[in-house]
Amino acid sequence: MTDAGPSGSVHGVEVSETMLSQAAGRYRRDIATQRLSLHSGSMTQLPFADEALHGAITVNTIYFVAELDKEFGELARVMNSRGRLVIGLADPDVMAKLPFTGHGFHLRPVPDVIDKLRSAGLTVEHRQIGEHANAPHLLIAHASRETSRTTAGLDRNRLSASIERDRPTTLS
Ligand SMILES: C[S@@+](CC[C@H](N)C(=O)[O-])C[C@H]1O[C@@H](n2cnc3c(N)ncnc32)[C@H](O)[C@@H]1O
């Protein structure tokens, strides 16, 4: 939340009411000052306007989403042209060895996840957190220069100023 800056706001989107209630207790001060807003909902249908967010991060969540195209389409829709989306995920080979991942987890090869991000119109940088081949992955995605929505009809400077001032960011 510190990365959102002193006047920035952060949104959390979560499908589980239990997790939302835990977050509401833990971050009650930030919620009271409207620095943090929690939303009950899914990453496949985000409660934000087009290009509303300056950044988004989601860690260890995509295994639970069957419709990854829909999720990435939504994330691409809500990111502004200078925004950055970060997806953290464990290596699928590591995950496949865990006893619980056989129960409803969607484990996908990382290149497939990258392809889906690209299909959503994003450029993707792939990093790993560690030296070994099965280290956890970070996918850092930006709106593609050629596919990012244009701001035709809008004052580009005013739009940027508004985004910079508010710097809304989402977490899950
Ligand atoms: C394994 S936890 C990860 C929590 C945290 N990001 C971390 O790494 O510790 C996965 C979380 O994603 C949430 N989740 C699953 N599907 C989701 C969806 N479609 N939209 C939003 N959140 C979802 C789950 O309810 C759960 O709280």
Q: What is the mean pLDDT of residues 2-13?
A: 89
Atom of ligand 1 nearest to the CA of 42: 20
Q: Tokens at residue 136, please?
A: 């956890």
Mutate to test the pocket of ligand 1, among 18, 19, 57, 64 (most ligand atoms within 8 A of CB): 64
pLDDT of residue 145: 56
Burial class (CB in 10 A: 0-12, 13-18, 19+), 97: exposed
Looking at every residue in the chain, the average pLDDT score rounds to 87
pTM: 0.85
Q: Is the pLDDT of residue 148 over 50?
A: no
Which residues contact ligand 1 via a Cβ below 6 A? Answer: 13-16, 19, 42-44, 59-61, 64-65, 172
Q: Is the pLDDT of residue 30 over 60?
A: yes
Residue 10: which H helix or E strand, with range?
Answer: strand 10-14
Q: What is the mean pLDDT of residues 38-63?
A: 97
Using DSSP's 3-state secondary structure scheme, residue 89 falls into strand
Confidence bin at 6 (pLDDT 50/70/90): confident
pLDDT of residue 106: 98
Atom of ligand 1 nearest to the CA of 71: 19
CA distance 1 to 108: 29
pLDDT of residue 5: 82
Q: What separation in Å is there between the alpha carbon of 153 and the centre of ligand 1?
A: 37
Q: Is the pLDDT of residue 149 over 80?
A: no
Q: Tokens at residue 19, please?
A: 């997790």
